[in-house]
């Protein structure tokens, strides 16, 4: 590679990246949690919701008795997870919560969704870790295999369509879809249930 060619210059320098961005105590806590997920949560019966809630709470999650996770749900840092009443995190959801992830009441995170509350600052050559917060409102439905980007807020009563890539905040009461996700229409919310 010709270093004098500005179009071929490499901006980020991987030798400058911090190989240990967490404190020692956090690495120990993460290792213990990974063992619990592997040995006690993954093999648990599908309907053993209280068992999984117990272990999430032991490691600092705020999760009420009415909310559920599945055996194949992956939570990276339970101490950075807050769930509201009657919310569900489905099979194969990856809650990559390097930053705080808050899920409101009566919200559903469907199978295969990735909630990514961590990235790197690409404007700096050493790519420092960025631990961003994600807020998912109440009454939200995130459909299968969607991707929720760091720092995003999803408004109350909104729907994220299957396989959508959400890179910006979503207002209340809308349906978004696509890559990048755009507002498709308002969410119908009739006054009466059928």
Residue-averaged pLDDT of the chain: 94
Number of domains present in the structure of the chain: 1
Confidence of residue 44 (pLDDT cuts 50, 70, 90): very high
**Inside any domain, residue 63:** yes
CA gap 194, 177 in Å, rounded: 26
Answer yes or no: 120 catalytic: yes
Q: Which domain holds residue 147?
A: 23-183
Taking a C-beta distance cutoff of 8 angstroms, is the pair 39, 52 a contact? no
**Inside any domain, residue 111:** yes
Please compute the mean of the pLDDT values over residues 126-153 and round it to a whole number.
97
* Residue owning tokens 């270093």: 3
Confidence of residue 18 (pLDDT cuts 50, 70, 90): confident
CATH code for position 109: 2.160.10.10
pLDDT digits (tens, 9 = 90+) for 50-74: 999 999 999 999 999 999 999 999 9
Of 77, 106, 120, 156, the active-site residue reads 120
* C-alpha R_g of the chain: 19
pLDDT of residue 3: 56
């Amino acid at each position: 590679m010709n270093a004098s060619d500005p179009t071929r210059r490499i901006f980020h320098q991987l030798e400058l990246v911090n190989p240990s961005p967490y404190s020692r105590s956090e690495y120990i806590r993460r290792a213990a949690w990974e063992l619990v997920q592997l040995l006690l949560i993954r093999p648990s019966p599908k309907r053993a919701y209280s068992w999984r809630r117990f272990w999430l709470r032991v490691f600092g999650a705020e999760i009420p008795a009415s909310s559920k996770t599945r055996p194949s749900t992956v939570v990276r840092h339970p101490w950075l997870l807050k769930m509201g009443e009657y919310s569900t995190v489905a099979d194969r959801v990856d809650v990559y919560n390097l930053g705080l992830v808050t899920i409101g009441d009566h919200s559903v995170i469907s199978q295969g969704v990735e909630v990514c509350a961590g990235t790197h600052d690409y404007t700096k050559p050493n790519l420092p870790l960025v631990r961003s917060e994600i807020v998912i409102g109440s009454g939200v439905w995130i459909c299968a295999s969607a991707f929720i980007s760091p720092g995003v807020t999803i408004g109350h009563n909104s729907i994220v369509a299957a396989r959508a890539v959400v890179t910006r905040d979503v207002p209340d009461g809308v349906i978004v879809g696509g890559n990048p996700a755009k507002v498709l229409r308002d969410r119908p919310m009739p006054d009466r249930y059928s």
